[in-house]
Each structure stands twice: as C-alpha cells, then as structure tokens.
Structure 1
Amino acid sequence: MQISSKLVPRLAASVVAAALLAACAKAPPPQPGAERPAQAVRALVDRLRANDLAGFATVAVPPPLHARLETAWRTGRSRWPLDELPLDDRLPAMLAALSQPNARTDLQRTFDGQFANSADELRSTATSLGVFGVQYFRNEGDYSAAERDHYTQTITALSRWAGQAPLSDTKRARRAIAILSTAAAETGIAAPEDFANHGMDESLERLGPFLAATKQVFGSYGLNLDATFDGLEATLVQQTGDTARVRVRYLLAGEQVDTVLDVQRIGGRWYLADYLRNAEASLEGPAVRAPGLPAAASTPSTAPSP
C-alpha cells in the first residue's frame, strides 16, 4: 500500500496540532475539600507541588468560607492562607526589597558584608533559631496540639538542614538573589495594600511563580521540597462521624516527620481542621492569631534566609 506524498505532511501536521491542543488544555480546577479524610491532606500537598496557591485556598476551605476570605482580603482583615507561613506579615516588604531596580547589587553587597565566609556563625544561628522555634511552638501561641507536634518536628528538621547547608556560599547567594528578585518583581506585589487591591485569589495566583522560584532556591542549597511533597503519605487512623484523624509521614531534609492531623467533614467534603479554625479566626483581623515565629525570632542579624 502506497501513501500519498501529500498525505504524509498532512498527517504530521495533524499530529502536531493535536499535541499542541493537548499541551494547552488546562487541567480541571481543583475542588473544595476531598471525598475521603486522607485525601484532604493529599489534595493540599498536590496544590503546593503544583505551585498553585490559589488552588490551595480553594481546596482548603468550603466555598462559603472561601467567599468570606476573599472579602476579608479586600478589606485588609485577612491574609489567610499566608497566615500559615512564618513571618507572613513581612512578605510584602520582602517582595518590595527584592523588586527594587538595584536589588541584586544591594542584596549581594549586604550578603557579602554580613554572611559571606561566615559558615560557623550561620550554623550557630540556625541551631539557636531552631531551639528557640521549637520552644515557642511547644509553649506559646494559639496552636492546636496537632500543630504544635507538626511544627516542632518541621522546625527541628529545617534547623538541622540549615546547620549543614552552604548558606555562606557567595556564588549560590548570587544565583538565589537573581532568581528571587526576578520572581518578586513579576508578582506586582510590593505593599500590604496590593493584597487588598488584588484580592485573595489574584494575589495567590501572582505568588505561585514566586513559590516555584523559592523552591528552586531551596533546592540549590540541598532542600528538595517537591521531593518532600511527592513522598508524603497520608493514611486514615480513625473516623467518627464527621471527624477523623489522619497520620501524615514524609521526609523533610532527610528527617522523618510523623504526625497526626485532625480533619472535619462539612457539606460532604473533608477539610483540615486547623486550617478551618485558622481561616475563621483570620476573619476577625490580624490581631486574633499570630502564627509563625514571634518577632524576636527574626531579630539576630545573622538569621539565614535562603
């Protein structure tokens, strides 16, 4: 059987067009919550793996609460889910500093003056901050028992990683500053009011590429967060009616994290209970809950922030 010489390029063009259409097709939007308790954790981790912070907020809370959070962002009352990050209140200032026209030169000069060739001092600082952070999460703040257990394990793992990471390496710092400054400028966020102007969903969309850049920088220092997300295991421990407990295990910087999280069913879908609580609390304004390390934890001038 002979194939027409005209048919071959047409078939090739059809294959290429189909491939392009498949590549451009958007994945279905994430759904709020999950059908099963363990899936509620996995769904959130999948959004972080995809650098999809807006999708994370969609998955994390029921639609009515999501709508209230969007309104609260626009009035400046809430910044959840950014509230779950340490030093979340300093994020706009950090983005602004990274976005400045001379950011690369100025930040490199600061690094060279304070951190270059200071490996021993940075290791000591990382250890001290780790100890301080663990003590804080064990005894202070408005945290659930599950949060205290989880955070103390992650802080310990990250402190040990920071104590061994090449944080004083000038070449790595130069690459990291370049990556982060480019990503920060592209967010278009440089002040707290920018969050209100954009609203929750758009702000989180803008921050997605910055999360990807941050993960890239951590990876250059030996911390592969995507590998952590990929390897996370979530298994059901107990379910009673609309409440359940899920065991979560993963490797963070080579350290095993093993904790149990509470999940709750609302409207037939499962959500992480602490996220529901924190999101609700955030609607009352920033003074209600202050997650992350207290301000004192960030005061040492040698605190590493890769």
Structure 2
Amino acid sequence: MSKPSIRPACARAALLLGLLVLAGGCDRGSRTQATSAAPAQAMQQLVDDLRRDDLAAYAEHAVPPALHRRLAAAWGEGRTLWPLTELPLDHKAQGFLIALAEPRSEEKLLAAYRRQFAGANAEIRTAATTLGLFTSQYVTKEASYSEAERDHYRQLVAALARWGQRAPLGDAARARRSIPQVALAARATGLGTPDGLRKAGMEHSLRRLGPFFVRLERVLAAYGLDFDATLGGMRISLAEQTGDTARVRLQYTLAGQPIDALVLMERRDGRWYLSDLLRRAEAEATVANATSAAP
C-alpha cells in the first residue's frame, strides 16, 4: 500500500472542513429577521443562521443589502461564488459537486479510498500533523488576514490537526457507509453540472446546498467532529466597543479543544457586520464588477 499523497489529501480535507465550518449544524427552522442592534447580537444572528442551515439567510445578514444585491448579480453572471469564496479552494466548489454527483461516483471514490487511505492509520496521523504545521505557517504568513483572523485560524488549525491525528479516517467500514451518503446528497442538490451554481443563482444555490452540508456535517460527526455541538455551545460576548467599531469574543470547543478568539465588527447604517468578512465581500464585488466592465 502506498503512502497517502499529502497534497491531494490536504486539499480535499480543507474544502470539506471549510464547507462544514460555514454550513453548521442540523437544527432546521424558518428564516428570521436580522437582530444586529448590538455587535454580539449580530454575531449571534449569523451563528443562528448556520445552526438552521439557512445559508441564504447567512448571506443576507453578513453584508449590507446593497452589497448583497451586487454579489447576487455577479453570481448569476458567473463572476463570483460569494459566500462560497469564504471557503478554502472555493474555485474548486463546482468541480467538487460534479465529481460527487456523477453516476457511480461512490464506486470511484471508494476505490480511491481503498488505494490511499484504508488501514493507513499511521500515515494519516503523520499527514494530519504535517497539514497542521503547513497550514499554521501559511496562516502566519498570509498577508490578507487580519491579526484577529490569524490568531483565530491558528487555534482552529491546531484543533483540527489534533482531531485528524486521532479520528478513525482509515476505517474502511465507516468509509463504505459515509461516501455513498455524501454522493447522494450532492446529486440531490441538482447543482452537479458545469454551470449548475451560476444557473441556479446565489439564493437558490445556497438553499439547495443546505441539506448537502447537513449530510457532510453528520458524516464528520460520526468521525468525532461535531459542528452542531460546536455552534450550539458557542459563547458570544462584547469585549469592547468604540463608536462604530467593536471586538466580540467567541468561546467554543472544537473537536475537544477550547477556542478563545476575538473578531472585529463594524457598524454601517445602524447594523453590525464582521469586518474581515465584509472586506472580502466588498473585494469580491469590486473584482466582479471590474471584470464585467472590462472590454
């Protein structure tokens, strides 16, 4: 048996974990109006959206209405996939869905799993350690991250690396149960075509992706990574506020590891938003608009 290839394995793991961090848990419900009169309430609104698997509501509450409209228009024209651009390897999202949704994908994925991962517990633990070190170094050096993001992401990376070192990822029986579930969920989205996300538009795509992410979350919960428990146990409090800027403290547990982080928030037109997310969304809309305007 050959040793698992770290680069492809890391890419798949990063995308999967990123999707689930965004997608949250499995407590479904109806959409609520934004309650962003205070910074901590605005953060709680986003967490509640994720716990209901309402990704469309999350997108609506994450940015001001005018920016949301610009991003939705750019999505429909194939110029952005925000908020999926918040995920690792966002440019692979459509290909990821296509690969899972294609006929008999379960057989191909299980065959690949048997070749690279089945029973390779020691190699997987080594790969998880290497991934943790590599990703931590990347986060430290990546200029686009704020210091608050950098600190938060380093804690996340450490927790996920420890999880990967002990999770039963080499258990072939679990893989035989899990992979078909994810493939079926991908087919059910109806987005597994080359331009499926663009044709569906932002609102409908995010609605269709909700149940797919729920299935991914449940699969990972069986491996000891319970995002529903993480979001459900999150404690959110105001650390400080100065005028239209604030810092909000997040305390939660991920894969048995405590996370204690600060996020930056700012007020626009009476509502509070995550500063780093807002900055990236505005950059997405600006690039998309510039691309559209280019001859």
Taking structure 1 as the reference length, the TM-score comes to 0.82
Find the residue that maps to 1:251 and give its secondary structure.
strand
**Aligned-pair distance for 1:191?**
4.2
> Hey, which bits of structure 1, 4+ residues long, moved more than 4 A?
none
* Amino acid in structure 2 at the alignment position of 1:170: A
2:119 and 2:127 map into 1 onto residues whose CA distance is 14
* Amino acid in structure 1 at the alignment position of 2:90: D
Equivalent residue number for residue 111 of structure 2: 109
C-alpha spacing 1:77/1:33, structure 2 compared with 1 (3 Å): farther
* Amino acid in structure 1 at the alignment position of 2:128: A
Find the residue that maps to 1:204 and give its secondary structure.
helix
2:283 and 2:49 map into 1 onto residues whose CA distance is 23
Find the residue that maps to 1:283 and give its secondary structure.
helix
Is the 2:252–2:258 contact (alpha carbons within 8 Å) kept by the matching residues of 1?
A: yes
Within the candidate set 47, 50, 68, 1:48 is matched to: 50
1:61 and 1:237 map into 2 onto residues whose CA distance is 22
Find the residue that maps to 2:286 and give its secondary structure.
coil
| Identical pairs, percent | 47
Is the 2:100–2:187 contact (alpha carbons within 8 Å) kept by the matching residues of 1?
A: yes
Is the 2:156–2:259 contact (alpha carbons within 8 Å) kept by the matching residues of 1?
A: yes
Within the candidate set 265, 270, 275, 1:268 is matched to: 270
Q: Deviations over 1:197-253 (max 9, x none)?
A: 111111111110011011001101011110000010111011111111101110000
Write out aligned runs for 1:143-154 (5 A).
143-154=145-156
Asked if residue 165 in structure 1 is aligned to residue 167 in structure 2, the reply is: yes
Write out aligned runs for 1:156-235 (5 A).
156-191=158-193, 193-235=195-237
1:154 and 1:192 map into 2 onto residues whose CA distance is 32
Equivalent residue number for residue 296 of structure 1: none
**Aligned-pair distance for 1:192?**
5.2
Is the 1:69–1:78 contact (alpha carbons within 8 Å) kept by the matching residues of 2?
A: yes
Flag structure 2 segments of 5+ consecutive residues without an equivalent.
1-27, 291-295
**Aligned-pair distance for 1:27?**
5.6
C-alpha spacing 1:240/1:192, structure 2 compared with 1 (3 Å): farther
Equivalent residue number for residue 20 of structure 2: none
Equivalent residue number for residue 250 of structure 1: 252
Q: RMSD value over aligned CA atoms?
A: 1.7
1:237 and 1:267 map into 2 onto residues whose CA distance is 22
Which structure has the larger Rg?
1
2:194 and 2:133 map into 1 onto residues whose CA distance is 31
Is the 2:39–2:265 contact (alpha carbons within 8 Å) kept by the matching residues of 1?
A: yes
* Amino acid in structure 2 at the alignment position of 1:232: M
2:194 and 2:156 map into 1 onto residues whose CA distance is 28
Flag structure 1 segments of 5+ consecutive residues without an equivalent.
1-25, 289-306
2:227 and 2:30 map into 1 onto residues whose CA distance is 24
